[in-house]
A and B are shown apart, each in its own frame.
Chain A
Amino acid sequence: MSQWRAWRRSRPFWGGLFMVLAGLELFALPLSGVLVHGAIKLVIYIGIGGVFGALIGALLVVAGLGIWFNAMHKTFYSIAGVVLGLASFPASNLGGLFIGMLLAIGGGAIAFAWTPVEPAPAPQGEAALS
């Protein structure tokens, strides 16, 4: 349990989590019919709107996981998450009816703002900024 807490505290956990949730929501809205029913025919129906929703959702999930497992590059992933969240508004169901867009912007900003507290890994902190 304490290991889990240490893991969580050693990276921008909540920012990454919000981005993953945003991605899943954007992904689910156009495609849940396809995933639940296994209806491949629906994909052809859904067209470019659904494809954008799936693409932006998948990229947000990847960026969120990147923040957890590759926290070194969190600046890149967090900015990508914010931009993807903004892009989802015109491209995918008004940003998953606002929910996904707000989660992505909030998560990305929190991940960007996360900074290591201890003075020891100072060179690491500098690397993360660059």
Chain B
Amino acid sequence: MSVGKSSNSARGKVNWRRFAIVAVPAVVVAGTLVGLTAEGALASSISVSGQEFIITATQLKGTGFAQFGGALPNSKGGQTPVIVSSIKDATMSSLCQSVTVLGMTVHLTAGGSGSPVSASNLVVDASDQTASSAVFDNLSIGQDAGTLGGPAGSFGEAASQVTINNLVQHTWYTTAGTFTLPNLSLGFGGSC
């Protein structure tokens, strides 16, 4: 490309004063964004797919709950069966999420000490889901999944309200329109 230009032999080096002119304000803004998110004042958008990660919460409360079976294509060319759960509005206490990115395990916790995490339009595709107890209001079991946004003709269930205690999920795909994450903290190493 431009290798042959006159700048070919022009060497350069990093001028650290110039570095600070940009880096210091950027870090201040980044810190403000992190701070606002940790206070729950700024919502963030979460969408992860393609690797298995773990979500735990001591309690999940949601309205507008629907669940049905589905399948995601896996890397072996087959299908991984998943439980698709969608919740219109959800709050989660002591949320913990861990995921392995570039060989590093990152774990994220939020929503401790009385101010829960809230999420809207949450969709989770879980391969495995356990809970100590679950309470459903107005549960309809056996509703056609086609009416819930899933594959038509398969099994589905819906509830107007749901409360799940000590939730542990292995998920392959998570997305939420907005997440507010009070008391956010992020660490490396160690899963939930």
Residues of A within 8 A of B (CB): 3, 6-7, 9-12, 25, 28-39, 42, 45-50, 52-53, 69-71, 78-79, 82, 85-86, 89-99, 101, 105-106, 108-110, 112-118, 120-121, 124
Whether A120 pairs with B10 at a CB distance below 8 angstroms is yes
Residues of A within 8 A of B22 (CB): 78-79, 82, 108-109, 112-113
Whether A90 pairs with B18 at a CB distance below 8 angstroms is no
- From A10, A34, A78, A94, contact of B37 by CB (8 A): A94
From A24, which residue of chain B is reached at the shortest CB distance? Answer: B102
19 contacts between A and B (CB under 8 A): A10-B3, A25-B101, A34-B50, A46-B49, A47-B177, A50-B47, A53-B47, A69-B1, A69-B2, A89-B33, A90-B43, A93-B44, A97-B106, A105-B23, A114-B14, A115-B14, A116-B7, A117-B13, A124-B7
Whether A45 pairs with B173 at a CB distance below 8 angstroms is yes
Whether A98 pairs with B186 at a CB distance below 8 angstroms is yes
- In the bound assembly, the distance between CA atoms of A46 and B29 in angstroms comes to 28
- Known contacts A6-B8, A94-B37, A105-B23; is A113 also within 8 Å of B47 by CB? no
Residues of B within 8 A of A101 (CB): 30
A103 to chain B, nearest CB (A): 11
Whether B15 pairs with A113 at a CB distance below 8 angstroms is yes
- In the bound assembly, the distance between CA atoms of A113 and B18 in angstroms comes to 5
B123 to chain A, nearest CB (A): 7
Whether A112 pairs with B19 at a CB distance below 8 angstroms is yes
B1, B48, B102 interface centre (most CB from chain A within 10 Å): B48
Whether A110 pairs with B14 at a CB distance below 8 angstroms is yes
Residues of A within 8 A of B6 (CB): 121, 124
B152 to chain A, nearest CB (A): 15
- In the bound assembly, the distance between CA atoms of A120 and B12 in angstroms comes to 12
- In the bound assembly, the distance between CA atoms of A6 and B5 in angstroms comes to 12
B18, B49, B99, B104 interface centre (most CB from chain A within 10 Å): B49
Whether A33 pairs with B72 at a CB distance below 8 angstroms is yes
- From B29, B33, B42, B73, contact of A39 by CB (8 A): B73
Q: Judge if B176 is at the interface, Cβ distance under 8 Å.
A: yes
Q: Mark B11-45, 1 if CB is under 8 A from A, else 0.
A: 11111111101110011011001100100001111
Whether A121 pairs with B47 at a CB distance below 8 angstroms is no
From B23, which residue of chain A is reached at the shortest CB distance? Answer: A109
Q: Which 4 A-B pairs have the closest CB atoms?
A: A33-B49, A33-B50, A32-B50, A49-B47
Whether A10 pairs with B12 at a CB distance below 8 angstroms is yes
Whether A30 pairs with B23 at a CB distance below 8 angstroms is no
Whether A117 pairs with B72 at a CB distance below 8 angstroms is no
11 further interface pairs, Cβ-Cβ under 8 Å (given A112-B21, A114-B14) = A3-B3, A12-B14, A32-B50, A33-B49, A33-B51, A33-B172, A37-B72, A39-B72, A69-B2, A124-B7, A124-B10
